């Protein structure tokens, strides 16, 4: 079938328009402030472009530039991570009487290595278990390490894997740390951070997981 030129052009224009919403979202002001946009609480083409870029970078769908709950939740997590600075254990939630320990804060999606009260590495953003496959909380220990681990469940490579609770491990991933809905239970890390953890930790080292991942 031959499509008339005017119809083809019209369809393309409609598709392009649909790819960027004009609708103001419930978190418009918060999202505008986070992105450094003028804070007026009203969606604009420039707002949509900035929001879409953020969504695309972190795998948030639908990627239409809408300032909705998931986009704001991700931004709010990033703000909490920034606020941690170099004192992520200010509240003392991760034990300081264990010597070297890897701490995982599910609420802020942060991890770090400390030795007593001394910060050894981090804090760094992590991606933990999604709703229904949450990273289990509590005191753990690394019991198995695999430099180039192959997941027989997910059929993917898990570089620098350090298992601390059954099939749950620290390991590298190429995905954004904010890619929803989360991992299958492991603590996903950026490749450089997973490598640093590999060099800092060993079998028998303590791991402490606490909090609750936003959205679970």
pLDDT at 155: 79
Summarised one tens digit per residue, pLDDT across range 25-46 is 999 999 999 999 999 999 999 9
Are 103 and 175 in the same domain? yes
Residues of the chain with pLDDT under 70: 1-18
Are 67 and 110 in the same domain? no
Last residue of a domain, one of 58, 80, 102: 80
Q: Which residues are the active-site residues? A: 171, 186
pLDDT at 85: 96
Neighbour-count burial of 215, counting CB atoms closer than 10 A to its CB (0-12 exposed, 13-18 middle, 19+ buried): middle
Are 106 and 198 in the same domain? yes
pLDDT at 24: 98
Are 168 and 196 in the same domain? yes
This prediction's pTM: 0.87
**What is the domain range of residue 151?**
86-210
pLDDT at 60: 96
pLDDT at 184: 94
CATH number of the domain residue 138 falls in: 2.40.440.10
pLDDT at 6: 32
Locate 124 and state its tokens.
Answer: 């760094």
Residue 215 belongs to some domain of the structure: no
* HEC letters along 144-193: EEEEEEECCCCCCEEEEEEEEECCEEEEECCCCCCCCCCECCCEEECHHH
pLDDT at 157: 85
pLDDT at 90: 97
């Amino acid at each position: 079938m031959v499509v008339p030129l005017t119809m083809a052009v019209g369809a393309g224009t409609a598709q392009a328009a649909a790819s960027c919403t004009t609708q103001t979202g419930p978190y418009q002001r918060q999202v505008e402030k986070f992105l450094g946009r003028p804070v007026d609480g009203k969606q604009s083409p420039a707002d949509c472009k900035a929001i879409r870029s953020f969504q695309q970078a972190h795998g948030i769908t639908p990627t239409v530039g809408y300032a909705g709950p998931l986009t704001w939740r991700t931004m709010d997590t990033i703000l909490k991570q920034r606020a941690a600075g170099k004192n992520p254990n200010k509240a003392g939630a991760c034990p300081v009487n264990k010597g070297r320990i890897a701490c995982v804060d599910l609420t802020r999606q942060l991890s770090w290595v400390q030795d007593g009260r001394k910060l050894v590495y981090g804090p760094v953003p992590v991606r933990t278990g999604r709703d229904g496959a949450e990273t289990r909380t509590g005191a753990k220990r690394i019991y198995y390490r695999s430099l180039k681990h192959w997941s027989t469940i997910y059929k993917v490579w898990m570089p620098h894997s350090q298992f601390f609770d059954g099939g749950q491990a620290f390991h590298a991933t190429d995905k954004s740390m904010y890619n929803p809905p989360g991992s299958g239970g492991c603590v996903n890390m950026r490749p450089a951070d997973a490598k640093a953890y590999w060099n800092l930790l060993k079998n028998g080292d303590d791991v402490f997981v606490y909090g609750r991942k936003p959205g679970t």
